Amino acid sequence: MEALSVHICRVPLFAVPKVYDAFPLAVECVERTRFMRTCGSIIYQGVQNSLKIRQAQHNNHLRNRKGGKRGFFNSKRRDPAQFSMEKLLAEALVRDVPDFPKPGILFKDITPVLQDYDALRQVIDKMTEQSRPLKVDVVVGIEARGFIFGAPLALELEVGFVPLRKLGKLPYNRLVEEYALEYGTNTVEIHTDSIKPGQRVLIVDDVLATGGTAAAAARLVERAGGQVAGLCFLIELDFLEGRKALENYPIISLIRYQE
């Protein structure tokens, strides 16, 4: 009987039910509970092994990523410990595009930041760190590039996300504000029921330039019943003096250009 039990222990997991089918009486005679415990232990070992394999695969993935060339920190020139937003500038992850979208405008293109996991991670981490003390109840992201930073930031802050959209995009009841920006005029809208009375709101966008867009967003938030706890930007173009349009609010900007 003991030999049979040992034999059963050695069969692969997939064969255990077959052995049980073949020798039901014998197995029951040996010790039903013991057999079940053996199965349980085999299954437990199987689960443990698969967890170990998954962990090893994940570690490998992290090692490859760190050792690879795909991230801001990964090239030999870049040292994660030395990371700063100034370095991000020095590495030209924010690209100057002249004459876009109109002649005479020097456009700050942030798409290289988005393409780079480590840079994007750092941006979200820094935004989170600096906006956490504002104790916000909700994040409002300004279409379109404000969505990119706003939604992950809301997740990090463990609050909800409200989209503030350009004219005609929101389906439900809306509040509307018009504004001027560096290269024209525009209109933004917010759903009337998107913010609860008194909620502390963080407004998020990629760029603060003249401040026209952000000021319109702040007006909408207040009209919707919210309290603007602060505004958060990746880039601030100091020379366009957008802060002047937002004098009453705390402003976070990770990268500031003087000219």
Ligand X SMILES: Nc1ncnc2[nH]cnc12
Ligand Y SMILES: O=P(O)(O)OC[C@H]1O[C@H](OP(=O)(O)OP(=O)(O)O)[C@H](O)[C@@H]1O
Figure out which of the listed residues 139, 201, 203, 208 binds ligand Y, where binding follows CB under 6 A: 208
Torsional sign, CA 144, 196, 232, 220: positive
Tell me if 181 contacts ligand Y by CB under 6 A: yes
Q: For ligand Y, what does the binding mask look like between residues 122 and 151, x meaning CB under 6 A?
A: --------------------xxxx------
Rounded Cα distance, 198 and 22, in Å: 70
Pick the closer one to ligand X by CB: 15 or 106.
Answer: 106
Figure out which of the listed residues 71, 152, 163, 211 binds ligand Y, where binding follows CB under 6 A: 211
Pick the closer one to ligand X by CB: 224 or 236.
Answer: 236
Q: How far is the CB of 211 from ligand Y (least distance, A)?
A: 5
Active-site residue 182, yes or no?
yes
Indicate the residue type of 241.
E
Q: How far is the CB of 160 from ligand Y (least distance, A)?
A: 21
Binding-site partner at residue 242 among ligand Y, ligand X, none, CB < 5 to 8 Å by type: ligand Y
Distances (CA, A) of 218 to 141, 205, 224: 11, 12, 10
H-state helical runs in 1-97: 2-10, 16-22, 24-67, 85-90
Active-site residue 78, yes or no?
no
Phi-psi region of 209 (alpha: psi -120 to 50; beta: other; left: phi over 0): alpha
On whether the CB atoms of residues 205 and 225 are closer than 8 A, the answer is: no
Task: Write down the catalytic residue from 143, 182, 189, 236.
Answer: 182
Q: How far is the CB of 167 from ligand Y (least distance, A)?
A: 11
Figure out which of the listed residues 116, 182, 189, 236 binds ligand Y, where binding follows CB under 6 A: 182
Rule CB under 6 A: which residues touch ligand X?
Answer: 105-108, 181-182, 207, 209
Task: Write down the catalytic residue from 145, 174, 177, 189.
Answer: 145
DSSP class per residue in 119-135: HHHHHHHHHHHHHGGG-
Pick the closer one to ligand X by CB: 35 or 147.
Answer: 147
Binding-site partner at residue 131 among ligand Y, ligand X, none, CB < 5 to 8 Å by type: none
Helix count and strand count (H, E) for the chain: 8, 9
Instruction: Report the candidate in 19, 70, 18, 10 with the shortest Cα–Cα distance to residue 42.
Output: 10
Which 3 state secondary structure label does DSSP give 83?
A: coil
Q: How open is the CA angle 247-182-218, to the nearest 5 degrees?
A: 35
Binding-site partner at residue 108 among ligand Y, ligand X, none, CB < 5 to 8 Å by type: ligand X
Pick the closer one to ligand X by CB: 99 or 193.
Answer: 99
Q: Which residues contribute to the site for ligand Y (CB under 6 A)?
A: 142-145, 181-182, 186, 205-214, 242
Q: Which of the residues are catalytic?
A: 145, 182
